Amino acid sequence: MSEEKWTTEEIGEIQEDIMAALETVIDPELGIDIVNLGLIYEVNLAENGYCEIKMTLTTMGCPLADVLTEQIHQAVKEIDAVKDVDVKLVWYPAWTTDRMSRYARISLGIK
């Protein structure tokens, strides 16, 4: 049984698809997607279809952690190449508004 091997280009395309899927996950409190908020720190994809997403939250006690994690699972599992998703919450480096995209800053009125 041969393992599926992806080219560097294919992995890049799949990671772009994953990021696009993550842009559909909206923080309910802020109304901005988690990518533009700068909450996604890292996306790793193994050749067996295992996807590990390292992300943070705007605050350590954020009550939406479970909601966002579930939405991430739903969004990313729509990608054929992804067979399993694991979301890991990380707290370092700490999230600041500096991580937000220009779009998110304008939308929230932050300079």
CB neighbours of residue 50 within 10 Å? 13
The confidence score (pLDDT) of residue 3 equals 52
Q: Under CATH, which architecture does the 8-108 domain have? A: 2-Layer Sandwich (3.30)
Can you say whether residue 49 is alpha, beta or left, with left for phi > 0 and alpha for psi between -120 and 50 degrees? left
pLDDT tier, 97 (very low <50, low <70, confident <90, very high otherwise):
very high
Check residues 64 and 76 and name the one with the higher pLDDT. 76
Report domain extents, the chain: 8-108
User: For residue 1, is pLDDT > 50?
Assistant: no
Check residues 63 and 44 and name the one with the higher pLDDT. 44
Quote the Cα angle for 1-11-70, to 5°.
95
User: For residue 56, is pLDDT > 90?
Assistant: yes
Which burial class, exposed, middle or buried, applies to 107 when counting CB atoms under 10 A from its CB (0-12, 13-18, 19+)?
A: middle
The confidence score (pLDDT) of residue 103 equals 92
